[in-house]
Amino acid sequence: MAPTVGGNPLRDPRDRRLPRLPDASALVVFGVTGDLSRKKLIPAVYDLANRGLLPPGFVLLGFARRDWEGHEPFIQFARECAEKGARTPFREETWDRLASSIRFVKGSFDDDAGFDRLAAELDSLEASHGIRGNAAFYLSIPPSAFPVVLKQMERTGLADEKAAGGWRRVVVEKPFGHDRKSAGELNSLVDDVFGPQDVFRIDHYLGKETVQNLFALRFANTLFEPIWNSQFVDSVQITMAEDVGIGTRAGFYDETGAARDVLQNHLLQLLALTAMEEPVSFGADTIRAEKIKTLRAVSLPTDLTSYAIRGQYEQGWLAGERVKGYLDEENIPATSTTETYAAVRLGIETRRWAGVPFYLRTGKRLPRRVTEIAIGFKQAPHLPFDATDTTELGHNQLVVRVQPDEGVTLKFGSKVPGTAMEVRDVAMEFLFGEAFTESLPEAYERLILDALLGDAMLFPDNAEVEESWRIIDPLEEFWASTKPFTYRSGSWGPAASDEMLARDGRRWRRP
């Protein structure tokens, strides 16, 4: 007999158009009082509940060292986070249902008794919610706390599926180490406690609809794939720009910098999805296999001085407000050489991409918040027009707008109406917000749901993480003996970055 979903013989489990509901299970959040949990995780859980995507036996279990007695103060805390941060409207009936499944356990990471209470609470959820031993542990905690929390989980058997009688998974937040060596150590630490198939590493960019749309754009159409190669593509620019500064995360940021914070994960993942070959099927293993092949083919420029540029913001103006320079930010040492901007030219040594530069850039205090992938095509080999007719014609360009104004823009030349034959760039736009009625879910909604479903397609694996560090480590090593260039807040980064492209006869796109 054909497999069914939830006993429904009319439903094909392979049908991805229908929402899938996870098994009854607990989502245990360590660091539940932290910034990420307050702003993203709790609101995403509420949004999932509101969309009817959580199973009846779902439990949100917070673990924190707050002096909260019983479950009620945490329920109140979670309500405030949901009211403030949720994407979908706040509805009392959704909340009441969710609130009845929220639990709290008090404890600190080095406190054995706290973890024993957590294990006992999980056991008790069998009887009250029928979770059948299923639990996902979300480590929304400082990376330095990973070893102690994992050891506690090992000690109390929290990761032991056999003893639990259900599945046990762990969700890990970035940063995954600060270089290849530490990432390898972290991976083996996690692998000692959980099986590789039970580890879900979050790169929230992969949870974005616009990023997943790259699969549809490339592999569901006939139009783009034939020209997605060095024969037609001149260069690719991948940009993640933020208008904000470092906010309240000075300590973390000053140790990390833009390359480790964004280039190593988000930008290299976007590069891998843009450049990878077509997977043989649409599953976690097949997609990861293609991404890792692409990352392994990434080459660094030999001349790092010219093609690996980093910068640090100085004071300036943004949105009509005067803003401080990086060195004047609270808790940043006046001698800091941490970069807030990084740009690099990478190559991909495959038949498809050899010779096509991939320019990656990220920075803080740039003029606007925008993430996009711009594929620049080669100019037509011959233009049967007078040179003056095409002065306003640039390269054809396909721009995937990851955020905001999510969508795709195609830029091409068009005749300007009139008696002359003048050709000028025009843009054809697809906007998610106009084409579809449903507003785009937050990345964390999708990723939390997928972790509960055990679908690892949108989570990078160990090999990808370590391969990404192979690309970043030489840059960090080179930069360690240099000082970053400076750039004015509100500008598009240091002049050296513009010069990097000018040297190649190109320029950065103004998003």
Ligand X SMILES: NC(=O)c1ccc[n+]([C@@H]2O[C@H](COP(=O)([O-])OP(=O)(O)OC[C@H]3O[C@@H](n4cnc5c(N)ncnc54)[C@H](OP(=O)(O)O)[C@@H]3O)[C@@H](O)[C@H]2O)c1
Distance from chain centroid for Cα 336: 27
Q: Residue 204 annotated as binding?
A: yes
What are 344's two structure tokens?
A: 């690099």
Q: Given candidates 8, 76, 100, 108, which one binds ligand X under the rule CB under 6 A?
A: 108
Q: Residue 242 annotated as binding?
A: yes
The answer to whether residues 140 and 35 touch, using CB atoms and an 8 Å cutoff, is: no
Question: Rule CB under 6 A: is residue 415 a binding residue for ligand X?
Answer: no
Per the residue annotation, which of 71, 129, 178, 266 is the catalytic one?
266
Q: Which stretch binds ligand X (CB under 6 A): 59-67, 213-221, 342-350, 409-417?
A: 59-67
Site residues (CB under 6 A) for ligand X, limited to 425-454? none
Question: Rule CB under 6 A: is residue 74 a binding residue for ligand X?
Answer: no
What are 388's two structure tokens?
A: 């003056």
Site residues (CB under 6 A) for ligand X, limited to 32-51? 33-37
Q: Residue 328 annotated as binding?
A: no
CA neighbor of 256 nearest in space, from 330, 339, 346, 331: 339
| Closer residue to ligand X in complex, CB, 134/265 | 265
Question: Rule CB under 6 A: is residue 143 a binding residue for ligand X?
Answer: yes
- Contacts with 441 (C-beta within 8 Å, 6 or more apart), sequence order: 47, 51, 87, 209
Q: How far is the CB of 108 from ligand X (least distance, A)?
A: 4
Question: Rule CB under 6 A: is residue 191 a binding residue for ligand X?
Answer: no
| Closer residue to ligand X in complex, CB, 48/246 | 246
SS3 104: strand
Helices assigned H by DSSP within 220-359: 250-258, 268-275, 284-296, 304-307
What are 493's two structure tokens?
A: 């980064």
- CA 257, 262, 263, 265 dihedral sign is positive
| Closer residue to ligand X in complex, CB, 26/246 | 246
Q: How far is the CB of 418 from ligand X (least distance, A)?
A: 52
Site residues (CB under 6 A) for ligand X, limited to 168-187? 173-175
Q: Given candidates 5, 21, 145, 410, which one binds ligand X under the rule CB under 6 A?
A: 145
Q: How far is the CB of 291 from ligand X (least distance, A)?
A: 20
| Closer residue to ligand X in complex, CB, 32/500 | 32
Q: Given candidates 13, 18, 65, 502, which one binds ligand X under the rule CB under 6 A?
A: 65
What are 184's two structure tokens?
A: 């390898």
Question: Rule CB under 6 A: is residue 109 a binding residue for ligand X?
Answer: yes
> How many residues bind ligand X, per CB under 6 A?
19
| Closer residue to ligand X in complex, CB, 143/367 | 143
Question: Rule CB under 6 A: is residue 80 a binding residue for ligand X?
Answer: no
CA distance 358 to 373: 10
Rama region for 368: left / alpha / beta (φ>0; ψ in -120 to 50; rest):
beta
Question: Rule CB under 6 A: is residue 31 a binding residue for ligand X?
Answer: yes
What are 44's two structure tokens?
A: 């995403």
Place of tokens 């007999």: 1
Q: How far is the CB of 207 from ligand X (least distance, A)?
A: 12
Residue number closest to ligand X, CB atom: 34
Mark whether 266 is an active-site residue: yes
Q: How far is the CB of 190 from ligand X (least distance, A)?
A: 13
Helices assigned H by DSSP within 259-382: 268-275, 284-296, 304-307
The answer to whether residues 406 and 210 touch, using CB atoms and an 8 Å cutoff, is: yes
- CA dist 47 → 88, 346, 490 (Å): 6, 38, 34
Q: Residue 395 annotated as binding?
A: no
| Closer residue to ligand X in complex, CB, 152/397 | 152
Q: How far is the CB of 78 from ligand X (least distance, A)?
A: 13
| Closer residue to ligand X in complex, CB, 128/248 | 248
CA neighbor of 59 nearest in space, from 128, 158, 150, 153: 128
Strand partners, 340: none
Q: How many CB atoms lie within 10 A of CB 303?
A: 10
Distance from chain centroid for Cα 301: 25
| Closer residue to ligand X in complex, CB, 52/247 | 247
Site residues (CB under 6 A) for ligand X, limited to 269-328? none
3-state helix, strand, coil in the chain (%, to 5): 40, 20, 40
Q: Which stretch binds ligand X (CB under 6 A): 7-15, 60-68, 212-220, 420-428?
A: 60-68
- CA dist 424 → 166, 235, 351, 390 (Å): 61, 21, 33, 7
Q: Contact letters (x/-) for ligand X, 123-142, by CB under 6 A?
A: -----------------xxx
Q: How far is the CB of 265 from ligand X (least distance, A)?
A: 9
Q: How far is the CB of 481 from ligand X (least distance, A)?
A: 27
Q: Please, what is the end-to-end C-alpha distance for the chain in angstroms?
A: 53
CA dihedral 434, 439, 440, 441 (to 10 degrees): -170
Positions annotated as catalytic residues are 266
Residue ranges in contact with ligand X by CB under 6 A: 31, 33-37, 64-66, 108-109, 140-143, 145, 173-175
Which residues fall in the annotated binding site for substrate?
204, 208, 242, 261, 364
Which residues fall in the annotated binding site for NADP(+)?
65, 174
